[in-house]
Amino acid sequence: MPSTTAIVGSSVGLHARPAGIIAEAVTESGVDVTIGLGADEPVDAGSALMIMTLGAEHGTEVTVTADDQATLDTIVALVEADLDA
């Protein structure tokens, strides 16, 4: 599975609104996607609640992994965007 690192762009980190937007995009894609923080076990990016459990703050580096490169690129772009603007 392809993976890449991304820097959290949302000013409040991966909290309710950004996590919801990312989870919705993952669900719509139909592709398995995970997001991991440091040495912690990656979580299912199709679940806003699981994304929020990471506690990823603005500027934090996370690892995004997906079964499809186009989906990976889309989710990385969302993680790096300020979804609270």
Q: For this structure, is 15 an active site residue?
A: yes
Cβ neighbourhood burial of 83 (10 Å; 0-12, 13-18, 19+): buried
Tokens in use for 77?
């772009």
Which one of 8, 9, 10, 15 is the catalytic residue? Answer: 15
Residues involved in catalysis: 15
